[in-house]
Amino acid sequence: MLLGSTVDSLWLATALIIGIPSSILVCLTMIGAFWTGPIDGSPSLSPREQRLSVALGIVVSTAVFLGFTVHFWGACWILLGAFPGMRANLAEAAIIREREAALHLAELENG
């Protein structure tokens, strides 16, 4: 009942429900998938994966920004967790593929 119809900010509503530290952790979880930096130029990702990375960055950045003025309901909550997860998975795939390529190249050089 504490959360009335007047609270329409994602971050304020989250802070009222689970506390300010938890609201900060939710925000860091959303933007934490982007700490590896831009991966749209990674040669180990396909062009589709590179475009998906850019699109996910735009969508999550917009959602984090809009969260200061809008509270998301229903399927938006699921997508706010899924999109950063997809981006983190793409970054991890790029890292693993680059490591495998370097390992394969080292094996070829060593015989």
pLDDT at 27: 82
pLDDT at 57: 87
Dist. CA 105–CA 82, nearest whole Å: 34
pLDDT at 23: 84
Ranges of the chain whose pLDDT falls below 70:
1-7, 74
Mean pLDDT of the chain: 83
| Neighbouring residues of 88: CB distance < 8 A, sequence distance ≥ 6 | 32, 33
What does the CA dihedral 90, 91, 93, 97 come to, rounded to 10 degrees? 140
Is 90 within 8 Å of 45 (Cβ atoms)? yes
Q: What is the pLDDT of residues 14-31, one digit of tens each?
A: 888 888 898 888 888 888
Q: Write out the two tokens for 40.
A: 């749209």
pLDDT at 60: 86
